[in-house]
Amino acid sequence: MELIQGDCIEHMSQMAAESVDLIIADPPYGIAYQSGHRSKQEREAMIGDYGNILWRLLPLVQRILKKEGAFYLFCRFDVSPDWWHMVGNYLRPLNKLIWVKNNWGMGDLKGNWASQYEEIIFAVKGRHLLRNGRPSNVLFADRIAAQAMAHPTEKPAALMRQLIEASTSPGDLILDPCCGVGPVLVAAEQTGRRAIGIEINPQFCDEAERRCGSNLVLRPQAVRRAQQ
């Protein structure tokens, strides 16, 4: 496995065409992350300025994904219609998966319903076959407790395992271009897949390196690779 500290657009531009079996992306949703456990300055510093990352990301996803590969894109309900349309310019979106969380987040405590789910756009390039029959598009996995989160939009490895096992076989290559603290890398290691993670924030890279254990070592050019 490989962890690259740097800009995902730059590094994906250097990757070989049709070289990746699965891409799982969880980019910022274009809004300030809200949580009572961090200050506004901390949240903004951790999320960074990704701007219109999706428009730059999608052509690269199309180029490096194999002909029968799959793409999972995490998104909120309020951006998913626009993102679905954007994905459709490059891949074939087939479904929206619903991740049901074990509890709900912060928000308007009296004026609005609490949100307990997140959407995942499922898109393919060519004829992609799921590995475990026809699973439900409703996924269940406990969210990370706010006080335990090392990343403002951290996803559980258990959720990533469900996506990985549905769309890859052991030994296949997975890319996470917005790696964060590495839940996709952890899930790939647990399921016997290869994985590449790209993350621009050095603090998140350090945490991903810690979570992946002794297999992950520092390499030159700010590239961390797992020993095979």
- Assess whether pLDDT exceeds 90 at residue 222: no
53-64 vs 80-88: helix crossing angle, rounded to 10: 40
What residues contact 82, with CB distance under 8 A and at least 6 apart?
none
The predicted structure's pLDDT at residue 186: 93
Residue 42 belongs to domain with CATH number:
3.40.50.150
Domain extent for 141: 2-226
Q: What's the number of domains the chain is made of?
A: 1
Mean per-residue pLDDT for 121-142?
Answer: 94
The predicted structure's pLDDT at residue 148: 64
Cβ count near 133 (within 10 Å) = 6
Mean per-residue pLDDT for 206-212?
Answer: 86
Q: What is the pLDDT of residues 41-84, one digit of tens each?
A: 544 443 333 437 888 999 999 999 999 999 999 998 888 899 99
Mean per-residue pLDDT for 172-197?
Answer: 94
Please tell me the distance from the alpha carbon of residue 29 to that of residue 83, in angstroms, as a whole number: 10
- Assess whether pLDDT exceeds 60 at residue 228: no
The predicted structure's pLDDT at residue 45: 41
Spatial contact of 29 and 155, defined as CB atoms under 8 Å apart: no
| Whole-structure pTM value | 0.85
Confidence of residue 165 (pLDDT cuts 50, 70, 90): very high
